[in-house]
Amino acid sequence: MANANKRYYWIQLAQDFFKSKEMKLLRKIAGGDTHTIIYLKMMLLSLEDNGILFFDGVADNLAEEIALVIDEDVENVKITLVFLQSKKLLSKISDREYFLEQVPEMVGSETASARRVRKHRENQKVLQSNSDETNGNGEKEKEQEIDIDINLSSSSCINNSDYSIKQLFKDFEAGFGRLLSPFEIEDIQKFATEEGLSPELIREALKEGVFRNKPVWNYIKAILRNWKNDKLLTVELVRARQQEQELPKNVDVSPEFLEAMDLWKE
């Protein structure tokens, strides 16, 4: 049953990916091909979280932890991270979350049942010599699996079809400047149901992401996780915290500085 609900992920590289200035520069530095492979491994590591790398604190720092996971030299990973940050390809969300900027536009995914349907279709093309009856049964099986997959992915939509959720999706599509993917729709619904976060709070995180020029679901999801960890579960609490952070801090001024200011007054 668990395998039936499993989701598979992959990277879709643009045709000119290795022709980009950033990739050309990365490959030109000492050990560039190794650093390029490390970058691709990091992308694969972050696929399931749509570009976010998590530092769990198992190692002393992010580079050591990534090196441990992807079986690469720590120093090479450090160089790769520094390069990616300098070229704005890696950004820091928090002390434990880092975002690979290019990943969201490269991610593809499908459920296990959709994968079976696709492979079934491919097999049907190869087995053209089968009888009409066998082909008919195959079509019925495909239709049944497609129905199951659609029902699995849309069941939560039916249970949460109130206006606020619908409007939330519209706000996301307006903020992203594109239609939401089925995966994003499913994940947003999970935050509203399983995580117990209100659509208004999720919309507030969307605004924050757009304001920071990060209109990416996984970046917004990280904001929501941080708010939840800090017990900021309403829009009012979030805004109160933001106002508190914007207030000018009391600055300790040395006697020497005050004395110098008095001299200027004279």
Structural domain includes residue 261: no
Cα distance between residue 127 and residue 265, in whole Å: 94
- Residues 9 and 107: beta-carbon distance below 8 Å: yes
Q: Among 105, 123, 143, where does a domain finish? A: 105
Cα distance between residue 26 and residue 18, in whole Å: 10
**Which pLDDT does position 87 carry in this prediction?**
93
Please compute, for residue 79, the number of CA atoms within 13 A of its CA located in the half-sphere on the CB side: 18
Cα distance between residue 139 and residue 144, in whole Å: 9
- Residues 166 and 180: beta-carbon distance below 8 Å: no
Note the pTM of the prediction, 2 decimals: 0.50
Structural domain includes residue 93: yes
Q: Residue 115 pLDDT more than 90? A: no
Cβ-Cβ contacts under 8 Å for 10 (sequence gap 6 or more): 47, 107, 108, 109
Region of residue 237 (phi > 0: left; psi between -120 and 50: alpha; otherwise: beta): alpha
Structural domain includes residue 173: yes
Select the more confidently predicted residue: 248 or 40. Answer: 40
Please report, for the domain that includes residue 189, its CATH number. 1.10.10.630
Select the more confidently predicted residue: 184 or 89. Answer: 89
Select the more confidently predicted residue: 250 or 28. Answer: 28
Structural domain includes residue 53: yes
Structural domain includes residue 257: no
Please, what is the Cα angle at 166 between 163 and 172, to 5 degrees?
Answer: 135
**Could you tell me the residue range of the domain that residue 80 belongs to?**
7-105
Q: Among 124, 144, 159, where does a domain finish? A: 159
**Mind listing the pLDDT tens digit for each residue in 174-203?**
888 888 887 788 888 888 888 888 889 999
Q: Among 105, 122, 149, where does a domain finish? A: 105
Query: Looking at the structure, do residues 191 and 216 belong to the same domain, yes or no?
Result: yes
Query: Looking at the structure, do residues 185 and 213 belong to the same domain, yes or no?
Result: yes
* Domain count for the chain: 3
**Mind listing the pLDDT tens digit for each residue in 210-266?**
888 888 888 898 899 889 888 889 989 999 888 887 766 555 556 665 555 555 444
**Short-list 199, 221, 228, CA closest to 49:** 221
**Which pLDDT does position 37 carry in this prediction?**
96
* Most confident option among 126-130, 139-143, 241-245, 252-256: 241-245
Structural domain includes residue 260: no
Over residues 94-103, the mean pLDDT reads 87
* Amino acid at the residue 248: P
Structure tokens at 173: 């599509």
- Residues 183 and 8: beta-carbon distance below 8 Å: no
Cα distance between residue 8 and residue 75, in whole Å: 31
Structure tokens at 218: 């996984």
Query: Looking at the structure, do residues 77 and 122 belong to the same domain, yes or no?
Result: no
Q: Residue 159 pLDDT more than 60? A: no
Environment class of residue 188 by beta-carbon count within 10 Å: exposed (0-12), middle (13-18) or buried (19+)?
buried
Report H helices in the chain.
21-28, 32-46, 62-70, 74-86, 112-126, 132-159, 163-176, 182-193, 199-211, 217-229, 235-246, 255-265
Residue 223 CB neighbour total at 10 angstroms: 23
Query: Looking at the structure, do residues 11 and 101 belong to the same domain, yes or no?
Result: yes
Rg (CA), the chain: 25
Structural domain includes residue 259: no
Query: Looking at the structure, do residues 14 and 101 belong to the same domain, yes or no?
Result: yes
Query: Looking at the structure, do residues 140 and 174 belong to the same domain, yes or no?
Result: no
**Which pLDDT does position 166 carry in this prediction?**
82
Please report, for the domain that includes residue 32, its CATH number. 1.10.10.10
Structural domain includes residue 142: yes
**Average per-residue pLDDT for the chain:** 77
Residue with structure tokens 């207030």? 247
